[in-house]
Structure 1
Amino acid sequence: MHDHFASDGHIVSLVRLRQAREAHAAPWRAFQVAAEAVAASTTSTLISRIETEDDPLMLWEIHLTLDRRDIPPALRYPKSERTPQLEFLTWLADIYWFTRRNPSHNPRFNAWRPLFGPYSDRWHDAAARVFESAHRRGYGAAYYTKGFALDDNDRRQLMTIKTSGQIARQRLLRLHSADMRHAITSYTTAHPDKSGDKRPGDIARRRYLIWKTYLLADKGETATARYYEQIYGETITRKTVQKQVAAVEIAWREFGPGKCISD
């Protein structure tokens, strides 16, 4: 029972979606059980579910769990935007992240000030009105950047209200991830671990995930190390990030199309 959005295409606030689900005991209980499973899931598993989760209430539960784990929306890649309702929830995750952490921030548009107030049903309804109005008029990231008075530092942790650098790096991931995995795997196979303790496939997967995290973390080495540990559970250092990113560049030059993919 997935009531994604109204038949006229309008965005439905999560308050209304939750009320509709609660009106039916069995679906509501099933949702509660599934939500408990979300809380017990690993961070990497939750991030991998975002792109394909088609239940708006469950997608929001995943975003809330990742928010509690202090994983910024920019690291929750790839995003979900297959329908207007799911696109709204991806945007909502950005707004929730920023407004909860910056309650004293002054948006340029006074009508948006309630979004910096208490988290409540009224908050959700106000957010739905803001998004639906902008969506209906075809407004995007530039409009939200202006309305919320965001600078580049604010935007670097968001998924939908992105900087030009984020747009370029996410485009790179979207277009070249498969080629990069192939290049890294080919390189690790041609240059195996000298100790023989690590399999090329394991090295290649770890190296790719560090590189991916590096791009999503705005190419910050300290941030990459922190988020990699939070997402994948392995403690690494800035030097490890530097070493692995350099190895990715070599792999790309030897086995990729021939240009520096991290630029």
Structure 2
Amino acid sequence: MKAIMPIAAFTDALTRKDEACTDEPDKSLDHELPPDVDLDDLGVDEGPMHSIPHLVAEKRTSTDLARLRAKIKALADQNTQTLIVKIETQADPLILWELHLELDRRGIPPAQRWPVNSCGTAQSRFITVLADLHWLVTRYSSHAPPSMFRNWLGLFKLAPGSDAWLTKAYFLYKNLSQTNLARSGTRAMALTPRQRQNLMAFPTAAMWKRRQQLETDKHVETHQALYSEAMANPYRARAFNPEHAANRRATLWRVFVLSDFSPTETTRNWKLVTGESVTRQAITKQITTIKTALKKHCS
């Protein structure tokens, strides 16, 4: 995989023109993931992979099923940001699926649930894609895949989340090219750039590159830069202690990157993720402060 762009250079690149997020199908696929992108970041194809109904059937013993139901019921009472963090680390595939469903009910786009699950299995990768598919069919029920991929049409006609839908999604996924999942899925469903912006497993190459800036090592560097800026400018951080200010701004930067640098989308997603209503102008001002800090403190 190519080296990730340094954060300072990355902030400079924000002023360049990127592909527009339109509602027109991405026919050219010019922005697909390049061949050297390591799709292991979406989960290594290791171990067995089963449909959700199959996994549920495996937990038919009363003890296992009761325990599963208790864990699922508890999700509704948990903070949205806590649920997002759990996406990366949850080992039980059924709980992972339910985490996605709970966040879907709260209107959190799959992209805002980044990073992907780190278990590195074929099962976890499938559930990542399944979460994208559920988001699509519930928000774009009238979307029509091209005639040459008419077998995908059933996914938009069945009740999302039903056993029939889950089984259909499983077999459609198995027929996708796993070596270039983003390309094969985008073509099969005729996804638009705007749709792909909100998805986790079907980004454009530009979106993928941006999301790499949120990998653990880069996130640590970003947080340190924002902490240093808060320490150096206590007046600007007067409402919070420096650590709180750094955490808040790091979260805002994450939402901004995952919103494809759109202040409008960032404002909307910030409210969904944090529950706070902030004006677009206030968001833009904070992003400017963050960019300045990253340029100043990052190499």
Q: Indicate the residue corresponding to 1:87 in structure 2.
A: 125
Deviations 1:157-194 (Å, cap 9, x if unpaired)? Answer: 10100122211111111152111111110111011126
1:83-125 Cα offsets, whole Å, 9 max, x none, are 1100000000001100122122111201111111222212111
Query: RMSD between aligned alpha carbons?
Result: 1.6
User: Which whole-Å CA distance do the structure 2 matches of 1:244 and 1:98 have between them?
Assistant: 31
Number of residue pairs matched?
A: 248
Q: Write the letter of the residue equivalent to 2:105.
A: R
Which of the residues 17, 39, 64 maps onto 1:27?
A: 64
Select which of 88, 98, 117 maps to 1:61. 98
Q: Map residues 33-182 of structure 1 onto 2, 5 A cutoff.
A: 33-80=70-117, 82-108=120-146, 109-119=149-159, 120-134=162-176, 138-174=179-215, 175-182=217-224
Higher relative contact order (CA 8 A, sep 6+): 2
Percent of counterpart pairs with the same letter? 33
CA distances 1:3-57 after superposition (whole Å, capped 9, x unpaired): xxxxx94420000101111x21011101111111101111111000000001111
2:107 is paired with a residue whose SS is coil
Instruction: Identify the residue that residue 263 of structure 2 maps to in structure 1.
Output: 221
- Higher mean alpha-carbon deviation, 82-91 vs 216-225, is at 216-225
| Contact kept? 1:193, 1:200, Cα under 8 Å | no
For normalisation by structure 2, the TM-score amounts to 0.79
Change (3 A) 1:194 1:49: closer
Equivalents in 2 of 1:139, 1:246: separation in Å?
36
Unpaired runs of 5+ in structure 1? Answer: 1-7, 258-263
Q: Extract unaligned runs of 5+ from structure 2.
A: 1-45
| Contact map agreement 1:13 1:124 (CA 8 A) in 2 | yes
CA contact 1:11–1:132 (8 Å) conserved in 2:
no
Normalising to structure 1: TM-score of the pair? 0.90
Q: Which amino acid in 1 is paired with 2:260?
A: D
